[in-house]
Structure 1
């Protein structure tokens, strides 16, 4: 909420100077890419053109049907000529959904479908430019068709596909309900390494793929040594802009948004991970973790923490109850179940502090979205208790789907005496 309410962070720090501010990792990743697209003219122009084409093609059911027919005919043609081989689950029906600003993964889906349906989209734009009713749409379709047949657009299309494919794995992982801190840090580092590898070693593969794509569609391939003139600048002050700048900007944004303090904090917390028999356990980093919470550990407790950590490591590697645990929360739960938390109070305090911080708040964001659906204008007088009960059922749909209707009826039946026997009604749509 730091961006929504100005001064909120300062108010909290005034109450507790040692409160740790951690921005949602999923939001930081999205904001890093959004910030780059706003600053880079090439990427920003490409996304603007992409949105215009998607709106043009999806403006009417007639255009959508024409797109599907053209795409299916081209697939059948390639199957007949042997360019493609048939298989189960291949060549499913596609559509060009408009990408959303809040869900950056939707851009990857749109770009993927755009690449697969490129020829079909050209056909639809050509039909609009020739047979359209409104002159503004005809001219817009002709202009966008020319943009699509430009090498810069094709290269940007494949380039953004590579970028979004690299970051999409991290984005999807950070939006999971149960996110392990150690896994999040590892995925973040892998994302940075993959982007750096694309910058240093991925250009030849990317260029060959783009050139092959252009040759198949009779798109002119320019000389790669030409200087790209920044739009809106006179030629006498032309600057050479490369796509490496986009990758450098994304890497810089990732480093800025995932600050060193936050990264160190989560790195220390990840040492409590139980995976591979506590292979990531590091006593020095855990002692460093206590320095982030000076009000929770006094000088005497800091001296006692080291021997407790040594005995705790022996316990979890010898006691079968701590084998095959998947998260820090499971470790804390087992400490309570085995009553070991009484013998390792300082270690349990570290675990509790680690569980307070969340690397992602996607599940919380979904609750807020669900609240808008449940507490609508027609239900604006709904009380907090009734709202909470409805939200639990709506948010945890996967759990409630496993419950049998008969069990629910029986629970309500025995809650209090009733005049009639509750029975199950079959509702059909």
Structure 2
């Protein structure tokens, strides 16, 4: 075995973030991921950049490059009779189908689970929606930010007594992508044991609820509704960012033993005192503790704080910029940064969030150009050059031509 999912074919109709991030994980593990794109392409190809910047980057955005390695791209117009027929033909040969359309769209296209499972009994059919397939909000479309809002995540993010703040990354989408991947892997294992395929359902709603799980449980048990606390949280004190001479450093001392080590590493005379001695003491005297510790960290550099507390086995981390974090030697040391060869150039990419001892999942292919593998994939289905020309004339590929 060269990789974990060798010989597994994934037909990926998903676009933007959650679905593509999930199928990239499967592709990293060796699956043959066939990315079915509309004639204009996955809209993430153009996210977040100007036309001028897009040209500099070779016609595709960093957002797309980040989540679409190890895939082959075919363009199909699913509303065209011939394009739709090809999609069904590919689904008959697939082990896994993934989509993130609104509920009912794939059914209207004749590509729903019940239809495809009739001719492909072992099919794993993974669908990722906004609010799920049923219930009063099922028909509503949404994105990451909408579910940050709906879930209450925004309501606990930011500084006290200030307007709500979104999380800076697409946290619900990317968290959801791992739920999709985990569900698919579970269904593949189930099929290996039972021989049966099945539908796997996930959503932005379930992803966001999972992120908020301990806040919901607290509310259900005693009615507590938490509010924004900046970088702090209600679980322990200290557990937040503190000022330094040249930036900020996050410090977490969640146990009495760790607090004692922190106090002696920074200033035992001011910190190793009865009013801060125990967990409940520190919570009760939160404001005093934060003020006292801040006055001490302000006199030290980030490096000094990290060195002192790291040596004392206290959880500590400098608040890095995106650039500092991306270029971290530690990230590179654990295989978190890989290089992709796009032919005319190489560019770095973030690796999958796990590594294996028995297989190397970091040997990756660059994200595909739009429709790059259309002819190759159709050739595998038995279409010759004449048939391809006929399909093109019939509009199977929309306004785009299948790539050479």
TM over 0.5: no
Pick 1 or 2: higher relative contact order, CA cutoff 8 A, min separation 6.
2
More helix as a share of residues: 1
More strand as a share of residues: 2
Q: TM-score range by the shorter chain?
A: under 0.3
The alignment's TM-score, normalised by the length of structure 2, stands at: 0.26
Give the structure with higher Rg (CA): 1
